[in-house]
Amino acid sequence: MATRRTRLEGWPIVFVAAVALLAMCAVVLTAYGTQEAGARAVIRSTARSSLVLFLAAFVASSARRLWKSEATAWLLRNRRQIGVSFAASHGLHLAGIVALATQSSESFWSQTSAVTLYGGGLGFLFVAALAATSSDAAVRWLGQPRWKLLHRVGVWYLFGIFLLSYGPAFLVKPSYLPASLGVFTALGLRVAAWRRGRDQLSCSPLP
């Protein structure tokens, strides 16, 4: 007799994630207030939630290639929904940035470099583009080659931002060590999965 799945599956994941993210922001604003301190706290908390969700989607296929388990099968099966949940988290992150820029414009602009402004702005555009094309209809409309190119470039660009932001961060603040380890571990998984795929291809018999 087949066992009934009790795990969350498909698009309800996005709804649950969005509710949880909004609740997190509400708790943060209750604790820190709705002025500059609250906006900065929302930015910090959503940056962490975005990192976790992004890395989960980023390593889904690699984890499945390296370990055949129910957990990795679930992760790969719901990678698209986890990615859209990341976009929801980053949307709230952007809202926090806009609130900070509005409420404390002088300090915000004095601490924001052109690299951060334009590089981060391009990152948000990629997030929007990836979320908007996370459907079978978008794949058909763009065509698979263009869809794959968009998602490959966008995903690696965003990973580059996270790598630059969190990779060396633990050297400045030891509290960032978990985030730094997460980023480097994700990169290691992608490399290990790529090498395994290459090795399997080279060992496959000729037709």
Query: CA 186 to CA 207: how far, in whole Å?
Result: 34
Flag whether pLDDT at 6 surpasses 80.
Answer: no
Q: Tokens at residue 181, please?
A: 């380890």
Flag whether pLDDT at 177 surpasses 60.
Answer: yes
| Least confident span in 38-42, 103-107, 130-134, 172-176 | 103-107
Q: Between 105 and 27, name the one with better pLDDT.
A: 27
Query: CA 157 to CA 149: how far, in whole Å?
Result: 12
> What's the pTM?
0.90
Do residues 180 and 169 touch, judged by C-beta distance below 8 A?
yes
Flag whether pLDDT at 200 surpasses 90.
Answer: no
Flag whether pLDDT at 1 surpasses 50.
Answer: no
What is the predicted pLDDT for the residue at 160? 96
Flag whether pLDDT at 70 surpasses 50.
Answer: yes
Q: Tokens at residue 52, please?
A: 């976790």
Query: CA 159 to CA 125: how far, in whole Å?
Result: 14
Flag whether pLDDT at 4 surpasses 90.
Answer: no
DSSP string, the chain: -PPPP-S--STHHHHHHHHHHHHHHHHHHHHH-SSHHHHHHHHHHHHHHHHHHHHHHHTHHHHHHH--SHHHHHHHHTHHHHHHHHHHHHHHHHHHHHHHHHHSHHHHHHT--HHHHHHHHHHHHHHHHHHHT-SHHHHHHH-HHHHHHHHHHHHHHHHHHHHHHHTTHHHH-GGGHHHHHHHHHHHHHHHHHHHHHHHHHHHSPP-
Give the closest residue to 108 by CA, choosing from 119, 97, 118.
97
